[in-house]
């Protein structure tokens, strides 16, 4: 099997996995019957849901450097930078629009002034500043950004960060640090001759470093704390490695996840529309106070509908990307 195909499909599958979980997490945030461990930790603490956004950041990091260099060779520096600027600014604008619409429609569980797409867009802008420097320097840059953010969080930003979702504008610095380091991990993975064998070890090392830091710095997705960033960066990279090994060792792919990954942004946008069908009516027994069987049916309907859309688009070779 061609290694380039394996690598592309494993990344698509991993990206699709993260988006599918993100869609489920957004739905499960509302019903009261859903246990706390299937929702984001309110502040200090960690649940399985808290690793989902970092997995998507890692998926971006796995392709960011390679995509930048390929476009640089084809289009030149100016057009390449303009493309990445436009893409990340579009994410910020799209995220701002969804935040406003979500607040006005009542689709979001809690009103907010910030969203995931804004955090990813600003993280992408930060990463763009350093993507051309060698991977080793990007590791250093990412760690320095993380130290600077944690210092500011401890001394000045805590109240502001806690008052917003995904850390707000200030938290974008921490998400940016994560993405910068994720691109360094991505370069390591794509170095098939020397670097790939070190990928799982380095990922595990980042995870261990985060666990050790957690003894001093509380783990908190809400705060986007330094320990949270390192733990989830390392763990997410190891999850991706499992996808890669599955494709490499068994020679198989996971079509449904691949299809989610190839139209991840579009499916994420569409999930907001479906979520509105459950939240907007404002009938407690229909969503917030729904029984277990109804929660399961609604979740399956959302995932099934989006999976069918992803499958249909992929069959027509339609892949939407900014």
> So where are the chain's domains?
3-315
What is the Cα–Cα distance from 159 to 168, expressed in whole angstroms? 11
What is the Cα–Cα distance from 238 to 272, expressed in whole angstroms? 29
pTM of the predicted model as reported, rounded to 2 decimal places = 0.92
Q: Which of 3-12, 205-214, 239-248, 253-262 has the lowest mean pLDDT?
A: 3-12
What is the Cα–Cα distance from 36 to 57, expressed in whole angstroms? 24
Q: Give the total residue count for the chain.
A: 322
Q: Is the pLDDT of residue 7 over 80?
A: no
Instruction: Give the chain's count of helices (H) and strands (E).
Output: 12, 0
Q: Is the pLDDT of residue 5 over 60?
A: no
Average pLDDT of the segment spanning 169-183? 96
DSSP code per residue over 273-285: HHHHHHHTT--GG
Q: Other CB atoms closer than 10 Å to residue 294's CB: what's the count? A: 16
What pLDDT does residue 4 have?
44
60-103 tens-digit pLDDT: 999 999 999 999 999 999 999 999 999 999 999 988 888 777 66
DSSP code per residue over 117-149: HHHHHHHHHHHHHHTTS-HHHHHHHHHHHHHHH
What pLDDT does residue 105 have?
60
Among 94, 122, 115, 124, residue whose Cα is nearest residue 26: 115
Report which of residues 202 and 251 the model is more confident about.
Answer: 202
Q: Is the pLDDT of residue 311 over 60?
A: yes
In degrees and rounded to multiples of 5, residue 45 shows phi and psi of 135, 180
Instruction: Grade residue 110 by pLDDT with cuts at 50, 70 and 90.
Output: low
What pLDDT does residue 152 have?
97
């Amino acid at each position: 099997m061609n290694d380039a195909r394996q690598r592309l499909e494993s990344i698509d599958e991993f990206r699709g996995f993260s988006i599918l979980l993100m869609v489920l997490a957004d739905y499960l945030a509302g019903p009261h019957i859903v246990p706390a461990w299937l929702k984001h930790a309110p502040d200090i603490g960690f649940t399985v849901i808290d690793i989902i956004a970092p997995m998507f950041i890692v998926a971006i990091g796995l392709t960011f450097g390679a995509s930048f260099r390929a476009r640089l060779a084809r289009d030149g520096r100016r057009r390449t930078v303009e493309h990445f600027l436009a893409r990340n600014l579009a994410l910020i604008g799209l995220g701002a629009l969804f935040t406003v619409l979500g607040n006005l429609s009542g689709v979001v569980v809690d009103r907010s002034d910030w969203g995931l797409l804004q955090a990813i867009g600003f993280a992408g802008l930060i990463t763009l500043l350093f993507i051309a420097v060698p991977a080793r320097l990007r590791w250093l840059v990412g760690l320095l950004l993380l130290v600077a953010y944690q210092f500011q969080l401890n001394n000045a930003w805590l109240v502001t960060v806690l008052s917003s979702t995904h850390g707000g504008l200030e938290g974008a610095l921490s998400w940016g640090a994560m993405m910068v380091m994720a691109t360094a991990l991505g370069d390591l993975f794509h170095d098939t001759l020397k670097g790939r064998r070190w990928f799982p070890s380095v990922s595990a090392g980042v995870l261990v470093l985060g666990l050790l830091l957690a003894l001093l710095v509380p783990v908190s997705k809400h705060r986007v704390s330094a320990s949270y960033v390192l733990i989830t960066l390392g763990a997410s990279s190891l999850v991706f490695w499992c996808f890669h090994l599955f494709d490499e060792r068994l020679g198989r792919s996971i079509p449904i996840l691949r299809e989610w990954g190839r139209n991840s942004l579009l499916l994420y946008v569409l999930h907001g529309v479906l979520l509105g069908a459950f939240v907007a009516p404002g009938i407690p027994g229909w969503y917030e106070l729904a029984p277990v069987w109804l929660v399961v049916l609604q979740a399956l309907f959302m995932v099934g509908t989006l999976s069918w859309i992803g499958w249909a688009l992929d069959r027509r070779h339609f892949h939407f990307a900014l």
